[in-house]
Amino acid sequence: MSNFNYTSSPEYQARVRDQEKIDKLLEKYDRDNPADVDKICQMLSLGTIKFESKVGNEFDDEMFELRDSLKKRKPSGHTATGDTKGKTGKSTAKSGSAGKSRTRFEDLDDDMKVLVRKELRAQYIRRTFLIVVLALIAVSCIGYFAIFYFNDDRGEKRYRELAELKGSEALDNGQTEYVATITDDGIVVPDVLPEYKTLYNSNKNLIGWIKIDDTIIDYPVMQCGDNEFYLTHNFDSEEDVAGTLFLDCNCDVLRGSDNYIIYGHHLQSGRMFSSIGEYESESYYESHKYIQFDTIYERQLYQVMYAFRSRVYNEDEVTFKYYQFIDANSEEEFNSYMAEMEAESFYDTGVRAFYGDQLLTLSTCDYQEQNGRFVVVAKRIQ
């Protein structure tokens, strides 16, 4: 059995509202009085009264027909100003012609003039308010984009400066000597590579540098205790919506991880990791096979194996989650990850990884679905 309640439908409610308007009109005006009928028609012509349903439209037709009928009873030679509207004229007016007679403001009585002035005043206020709101929104949008592109341009210049600082001593502060140390669990901390010493002195969160030839990707890679900070901060630890590239906080470049995962934003300007989406094309892969990712301790070169789309899943969803693959507990688990990636990849590069190989994963947002990600996975070859 249907539970539909007709009285709650929009159509029914519109009929009720129209009937209330009609009842109020007929309480105030006498439909047998030509002058009162004429006032009602004037309000309908001027739009002071508006209907939403068939009930209102039928009343509208009835009033204009009644006005015409009452006027025919008048002695010949008596003509009311602007009274040329009949049923046919009304229908024509609704279809875009001038069937309804236009009532001049000067011909209205004092009460009607007050109503018209109130309606015009209300329309003016609504229109002015809307214009002001839209103007404020437009100014805000223009300001936002102006600031965004200014900061984006400034950020890109800053990263070009950092690229030029590799190998220099401009930020070294006189500290050019690095001594290898040993951690509490016996891991030797090697000397920082010479080209990264000056940048490392500027920010100790620097963990490496990534570069893909013939692309805009030529950036420092940061790492800190969480995967949130560098989403909204740049190399200089200043707030920046563009963020900077960062290595997953669970990866360990000293002890080594099976898979280094680097995250970066996908920006409209094309900066950060926006261009890795080009790896959807096999021809792009053919001309951009290699990725240089140096940790601050070691130079490394990788070859792209897979490119695919994925997304961030709910914690309770049991499925392959590429962002959870950092270290494999066994060869079987490693091979399982490789099989999942190969199955998702857009094309077969012919490159394969085996248990014990070092992998590099680049991850950025992809807007083809909610929480979408675009992923490129590479294998270390040097």
Predicted pLDDT of residue 70: 80
How confident is the model at residue 86, as a pLDDT? 44
- Average per-residue pLDDT in the chain? 82
For residue 125, the tally of other CB atoms under 10 A from its CB is 10
**Could you say which DSSP state residue 313 is in?**
P
3-state secondary structure 78-123: CCCCCCCCCHHHHHHHHCCCCCCCCCCHHHCCHHHHHHHHHHHHHH
pLDDT tens for each residue of 44-67: 887 778 888 888 888 888 888 888
Q: Under a CB-based contact definition with an 8 Å cutoff, are residues 292 and 210 in contact?
A: yes
d(CA 196, CA 194): 5
Smallest Cα–Cα separation from 42: which of 107, 97, 89? 107
Contact 296, 207 (CB under 8 A): yes
The predicted pLDDT at position 88 comes to: 43
User: pTM of the predicted model, to two decimals?
Assistant: 0.61
* pLDDT beyond 50 at 84: no
Q: Where does the pLDDT of residue 150 fall: very low under 50, low under 70, confident under 90, or very high at 90 and above?
A: low
156-188 residue pLDDT tens:
777 777 777 776 654 455 544 445 576 666 677
Q: What is the mean pLDDT of residues 187-211?
A: 90
Taking only the tens place, the pLDDT of each residue in 100-141 is 455 666 666 677 767 777 777 888 888 888 888 888 888 877
115, 25 contact by CB (below 8 A): no
Question: What's the pLDDT tens digit per position in 153-162?
Answer: 666 777 777 7
The residues pairing with 362 across neighbouring beta strands, listed in sequence order, are: 262, 376
% of the chain residues with pLDDT over 70: 80
User: How far apart are the C-alpha atoms of 228 and 264, rounded to whole Å?
Assistant: 11
pLDDT of 244 higher than 50: yes
| Radius of gyration over every alpha carbon of the chain, rounded to an integer in angstroms | 37
pLDDT range class, residue 36, cuts 50, 70, 90? confident
Q: Does the pLDDT value for residue 40 go beyond 70?
A: yes
Q: Which amino acid is at 13?
A: Q
Is the pLDDT at 242 greater than 60? The verdict is yes
What per-residue confidence (pLDDT) applies to 97? 40
Q: Please return the burial class of 83, using the count of CB atoms within 10 Å of its CB with bins 0-12, 13-18 and 19+.
A: middle
The answer to whether 198 touches 168, Cβ cutoff 8 Å, is yes
Segment 341-367 mean pLDDT: 95
Query: How do strand 259-263 and strand 359-366 relate by DSSP bridges?
Result: parallel
User: Which residues on adjacent β-strands are paired with residue 233?
Assistant: 239
**Other Cβ atoms closer than 10 A to 69:** 12
Taking Cα atoms as reference points, which of 300, 296, 299 lies closest to residue 203? 296
Closest by CA to 110, choosing from 161, 52, 39, is 39
Q: Who has greater pLDDT, 47 or 369?
A: 369
> Is 350 a residue whose pLDDT tops 50?
yes
Q: What pLDDT is attached to residue 12? A: 84
What does the DSSP assignment read for 175-193? ------EE-TTS-EEPPPP
269-303 pLDDT, tens digit per residue, is 788 899 999 999 999 999 999 999 999 999 999 99
Our CA angle for 239, 220, 208, nearest 5°, is 125
- pLDDT at residue 16, rounded to an integer: 87
User: In this predicted structure, what is the pLDDT of residue 228?
Assistant: 95
Mean pLDDT in residue range 236-265: 93
